[in-house]
Amino acid sequence: MKPKKSRAIIKQQRRIEGWFEDEAVMLFALIDEIQKSQGITGNLFEIGAHHGRSAVCLAAMAAAEQESLNLCDIFNDQQSNVSGSGSGDLAILEQNLLPFKKYGLRVKIHKQNSMSLNPHDLDGPFRFFHIDGGHNVEEALSDLKLAAQSLLPPGVIVLDDPFQPGWPGVTEALIRFLDENSNYCAVAVGYNKLLLANRKHAPIYADVLRSEGARQLHNIGPPYEIKELPFHGDPLIIFYLSAYLQKHRAIFRLRKYYRSHKWLNFPVFAPVISIIKKLAQMREPN
């Protein structure tokens, strides 16, 4: 998905209740562009659609003429939402997906617990599998296994809420999955998403994520910083906010606004921007 389209999706998804950050849209868009540039085609799958906040991003990524969007949520069956993560609403979801369906996108919705999904009954293999459903260890592990069983070899699994103190089950599931599936490795983490890929194909993604030019094009980066550290025996690309910016959310928002509004670089604003930068201890843009 091109950056211009991502910006439109960000505006659209902000009106939808849910848990999907603006930066996650840009990250998904970049992954999508990597796949398109490599000729990787296949359907897309999401567990945990809720009201469609992230699903509209996946819908925008799908090439409607040859790819479909597949979603799963328990919707009204909330007594089986054992981890209490979100609560899907089918009517709102369908409303939010309407514009994409009008453009011919095929959307298949599995109204059931993801633990009862059988990989043979799904419209796979998938090139992009987003896991954001049940957040306890059994649920997340079952979803990871399902994703691995129905993924195209060069496809990606994206896991929500990794390393979150509030959801230890997701982290435990991730580690158990990697222990049991040595052909997979974690490639990158940031914006509350973790990217997993088949070890053989991981460099396709890692190489582009390491490229500053590619990140800049998709507005992935400052005020977030990037580093690489080993995780489960492999290098993990990490997008993170400095402790300073985590503490000073107002300055974080200011920097984010500055980075995403290029017109603020017009010379006419220079004196004002310079004063604000001094006040906010902002660094010069790259």
Ligand X SMILES: C[S@@+](CC[C@H](N)C(=O)[O-])C[C@H]1O[C@@H](n2cnc3c(N)ncnc32)[C@H](O)[C@@H]1O
Of 45-53, 62-70, 101-109, 178-186, which segment contacts ligand X by CB under 6 A?
A: 45-53
Rounded to the nearest whole angstrom, what is the least distance from the CB of residue 268 to ligand X in the complex? 39
- Compute how many other C-beta atoms are within 10 angstroms of the C-beta atom of residue 233: 9
Among positions 261-280, residues that touch ligand X (CB under 6 A) are none
Query: Taking CB under 6 A as the rule, does residue 32 contact ligand X?
Result: no
Query: Taking CB under 6 A as the rule, does residue 86 contact ligand X?
Result: yes
Q: Which two tokens stand for residue 89?
A: 């609403």
The site map against ligand X for 197-236 (x = CB under 6 A) is ----------------------------------------
Of 95-103, 107-115, 118-126, 254-262, which segment contacts ligand X by CB under 6 A?
A: 107-115
Nearer to ligand X, 50 or 215 (CB): 50
CA-based nearest residue to 160, from 190, 132, 128, 197: 132
260, 238 in Cβ contact below 8 A? no
Rounded to the nearest whole angstrom, what is the least distance from the CB of residue 8 to ligand X in the complex? 17
Query: Taking CB under 6 A as the rule, does residue 54 contact ligand X?
Result: yes
246, 45 in Cβ contact below 8 A? no
d(CA 18, CA 50): 7
Of 28-36, 128-136, 166-174, 205-213, which segment contacts ligand X by CB under 6 A?
A: 128-136
Of 30-38, 60-68, 83-91, 199-207, which segment contacts ligand X by CB under 6 A?
A: 83-91
d(CA 140, CA 125): 20
Burial tier of 92 (Cβ tally within 10 Å: 0-12, 13-18, 19+): middle
Of 28-36, 85-93, 256-264, 277-285, which segment contacts ligand X by CB under 6 A?
A: 85-93
* DSSP state at residue 231: E
Among positions 134-173, residues that touch ligand X (CB under 6 A) are 134, 139
Q: Where are the beta strands (DSSP E) in the chain?
A: 43-47, 68-73, 106-111, 126-131, 151-160, 184-190, 193-198, 225-231, 234-240
d(CA 158, CA 167): 16
Nearer to ligand X, 47 or 236 (CB): 47
Nearer to ligand X, 51 or 218 (CB): 51
Nearer to ligand X, 67 or 160 (CB): 160
Three-class DSSP category at 16: coil
Nearer to ligand X, 29 or 185 (CB): 29
CA-based nearest residue to 30, from 166, 161, 277, 214: 214
10, 25 in Cβ contact below 8 A? yes
Of 81-89, 196-204, 207-215, 233-241, which segment contacts ligand X by CB under 6 A?
A: 81-89
Among 70, 114, 150, 219, binds ligand X (CB under 6 A): 114
Interface residues toward ligand X, by CB under 6 A: 18-20, 47-48, 50, 53-54, 72-74, 81, 85-88, 113-115, 132-134, 139
